Amino acid sequence: MENYRVQVALAGNPNTGKSTVFNALTGAHQHVGNWPGKTVEKKEGEYRYKDFDVQVIDLPGTYSLSYYSLEEQIARDYIIKNRPDVVVNVIDCSNLERNLYLTVQILETKTPVILFLNMEDQAHLLGYEIDHEALSQRLHGITVIPGTACKNIGIEALKDAILEFAQQNGGPEEPTLLPSDYERVLHGSLSSGQ
């Protein structure tokens, strides 16, 4: 198989463990600088997996892709203008509803998305159990991967999913979830595990 450079953007709300996912993927192969002309930190890294060279851009933590803050502008512009092969949306699965707002906005850019449900161990401690398949179906079949990045759980599956997307070069064609659908999605995919 020929070497192939895959470009991945990590997006997520602040405090979802996105930097932990970035570190788990890239290890020591990281570079930290600033976004061109901005004071916001830019983190880039890379890793090699199954003969593929993968570049990872850690976008600033943000709650939305609006233009209200510099972080939102940077994340939105990067996704829309640079068109990465796939956006890995890192979610704190103990706060699913709050995190899904950004997911919907990323889907609306028609960029391929992988949902990485981080901190699954914390969600279990709170008594939550997420039906990953139901959540994926409600989001029109996007790939949903559960994990706990700080324990390296789910990282191998994430790497496999990234390669699959890069080879397919595609994802859902239409945005699939409106804010008014949150309650239905949550009731269909998040239940209390007693």
Reported as a single tens digit per residue, the pLDDT across 170-194 is: 443 444 444 444 444 444 444 434 3
Contact criterion met (CB below 8 Å) for 135 and 189: yes
**Count: domains in the chain:** 1
Phi first, then psi, for residue 2 (nearest 5°) are: -70, 150
Q: What is the CATH number of the domain that holds 89?
A: 3.40.50.300
Provide the domain limits for residue 19: 5-192
Beta-carbon count within 10 A of 2 CB: 5
Is pLDDT larger for residue 12 or for residue 186? 12
Beta-carbon count within 10 A of 122 CB: 15
Beta-carbon count within 10 A of 72 CB: 18
- Joined together, the tokens standing for residue 179 give 């804010």
Reported as a single tens digit per residue, the pLDDT across 120-174 is: 877 767 777 778 888 888 887 889 999 989 899 999 999 999 998 877 764 434 4
